[in-house]
Chain A
Amino acid sequence: MNAVVQMTGVTKTYRSGSSARQVEVRALQGVDLTVGQGEYVALMGPSGSGKSTLMHIIGLLDSPSSGSYQLGGDDVTKVPEGVLAKVRNQRVGFVFQAFFLLPRLTALHNVALPLVYRGMSAVERLKRARASLESVGLGDRMDHLPSELSGGQKQRVAIARALVQQPDLLLADEPTGNLDSKSSDEILELFDQLHRQGKTIVMVTHEPDVGARAQRIVRLRDGRIAE
């Protein structure tokens, strides 16, 4: 089994507070984490445990202070920001708690957005976006604005947007945090389905019953992996 995420000894230290009284925050203190191809991992831990920081590093939105990180077999520890953006675009699909759909774009154009940054032609982008929306069951909502969609539908648009990138890794940050229980179930069902199709998923959550649906649970405590 090929490792999609391969982390060894990753630490992250922040300086926070005003410059006069700076406090060093050691958010991660040596994390070793491996996520294999097709694995479905839940990342859990109380607030302040460093799980958000870890997620940002996995998603290439942040870089580690020390240690090494390989994504899909390539070292991404010391890569300039411009290249990192490209890697993010091709390998990581984000699903956020607050959906983050652009309010003035239709579902279809929201889904096509990541492909704009690949320099893909408009026709090709929209073709792929349509297919992606159909795969999450929103073939009949393509021309709706986010304000015309329910919470569950919005999150499905966001998932379609992540899938259209055909990423190595789906990174979901509390994807059911803003949803009622029925919609939550539908979304988690969709993740189960994606897992069965062989997608690699890392899901950050603090809800035990959400984490329970994953193949494996990684618990963080005080910047370290607890088990």
Chain B
Amino acid sequence: MNPLENFRMAFESLWQNKLRSFLALLGIVIGVFAVTAMISLGQMATAGINQSLEAVAGRSIFVQPDFNAGGNAQTAPIREEEMEVLRRLPVRVIPQLFTNAQYESRPGERRSITFQGTPGDLPRLDPTNKIARGRYFGEAEARAGAAVAVLSDRAAKDLFPTGRDPVGQEVRLFSPSGSRAELTVIGVLEPPSGIFGGLGSSATVYVPNEYIWNNWPAQTRGNYDFVVLALNREANSREVQRQVRQIYESRFGQGKYTIQSTESFQGTLATITGILQGLLGGIAGLSLLVGGIGIMNIMLVSVTERTREIGLRKALGATAGLIRQQFLIEAVVLTLVGGALGVLLAAGLLLLITAVVPFFPVFILNPVTVMVALLVSAGVGLAFGVLPAARAAALDPIEALRFE
């Protein structure tokens, strides 16, 4: 007998009991829906986080002394010499100084603010920095150590609480040793975008590196605190990271620097979301188990109800194997239909979420996820159909025909 006949019969028999079939496969629908939605939401969240992360940090590599491993500016310096070597890599080299300054929030009260030295034209080197008003200081100003400052969004609010436009104003700051510095504000940066916007927005005053070397005590000319290497579009993050590590280790020895890339950070994030996905998917998978038990239950009822049919089919020449096949196929068709409905529901929900929730910018429904969901549904049908099918196959036709 052609197995397709059994498929046709399975559909007929399920169609004849529409309400019951629907209720029986509801558990599978919910299970597949939950698993598919969880996995896809995890993938969408990862994609969303990565997008935001790139908006904040771009694709870059970050080098500084490894303070945890006992590294410091003496044993693991960031020197101008290395910048020359790094500039040969497919990156924009952005060496920076990181210190602090104080400002008078009220007469007699001083507060700390981050005071960061950068090269000129930072927004060009690292497009994640965007100018909101005014301009960034250029190369010439940077080299000359001009007394100009660009404020972060927060710094502008802290230093100019009245809401006056800071561009063109003077700010008075104090170095850690107490000396006074007068700077002209020439620009204000945009607040960082994406979900990390809140995290990344600190009160920072950006000035030329040269200015800090000239005016701040305890800063050695030619030495930086850290360097950001913004990767060119075609650059391979992992490869460049390896080359950078080699440059520093060949000169200063192993384990003295922290060399991180946004890509490795994304990898860590992917691992975390992967674990979360697995956990949530596993919990959702429990509903599949419950759904499977529901299928088994309804199939057992169906076998009892159709005892006479089974007896008749056997009398007419159906072997035990064909009867088993018939009921297994019915169970698989039931769960496959449930699985397909579950995937459709999940797709609907995901589309809705991408349309409504800005945190999920892209719709992801991986074909692999769909395939796995359908395979698992079929597997559930097979696994939980075995017992009812075996019971049907084992029926004695004489007893079955006598059954009232």
Contact = CB atoms under 8 A, between A and B. Distances in A.
B89 interface: no
B312 A100 contact: yes
How many B residues are at the interface, by size bracket?
20 to 34
A104 B315 contact: no
Contacts of B317: 85-86, 88-90, 114, 117-118
B401 A96 contact: yes
B113 interface: no
Contacts of A85: 314, 317-320
A143 to B, nearest CB: 15
A83 to B, nearest CB: 9
Contacts of A89: 316-317
Contacts of A81: 319-320
Contacts of B13: 104
A116 interface: yes
Nearest to A109: B12
A116 B5 contact: yes
B398 interface: yes
Nearest to B309: A102
Interface string A65-103: 000000000000000011001101110001010001010
Nearest to B8: A122
A90 B321 CA distance: 18
A117 B401 contact: no
B308 A100 contact: yes
Interface in A97-125: 100, 102, 104, 113-114, 116-119
B368 interface: no
Contacts of A117: 1, 313, 316-318, 322
Interface in A46-60: 56, 59
B1 A88 contact: no
A56 B316 contact: no
B12 to A, nearest CB: 8
Interface in B15-59: 16
B74 interface: no
B179 interface: no
Contact of A119 (B1, B316, B398): B1
A62 B16 CA distance: 33
B398 A62 contact: yes
Nearest to A161: B316
Query: Which of B5, B315, B401: most chain A CB closer than 10 A?
Result: B315
Nearest to A122: B5
B315 A94 contact: yes
Nearest to A116: B5
A59 B317 CA distance: 11
B162 interface: no
A61 interface: yes
Given A61-B315, A100-B312, A119 B2 contact: yes
A81 B319 CA distance: 8
B130 to A, nearest CB: 70
Nearest to A93: B316
Contacts of A62: 398
B397 interface: yes
Query: Which of B312, B322, B397, B401: most chain A CB closer than 10 A?
Result: B312
Interface in B361-401: 397-398, 401
Nearest to A96: B401
A165 B317 CA distance: 10
A45 B313 CA distance: 28
A96 B398 CA distance: 12
A89 B313 CA distance: 10
Given A61-B398, A62-B398, A119-B2, A88 B315 contact: yes
Nearest to A82: B319
Contacts of A100: 308, 311-312, 315, 401
A82 B320 CA distance: 7
Contacts of A116: 1, 5
B397 A61 contact: yes
A85 B315 CA distance: 7
A113 B315 CA distance: 11
Given A82-B320, A100-B401, A104-B16, 7 more contacts: A61-B398, A94-B316, A96-B401, A100-B308, A104-B12, A118-B1, A118-B317
8 A-B pairs with least C-beta separation: A89-B317, A117-B317, A114-B316, A85-B319, A100-B312, A82-B319, A104-B16, A119-B1
Interface of B: 1-2, 5, 12-13, 16, 308-309, 311-322, 397-398, 401
19 contacts: A61-B314, A61-B315, A61-B397, A61-B398, A82-B321, A85-B317, A85-B320, A86-B317, A88-B316, A89-B316, A89-B317, A96-B401, A100-B312, A102-B309, A104-B13, A116-B5, A117-B317, A118-B317, A119-B1
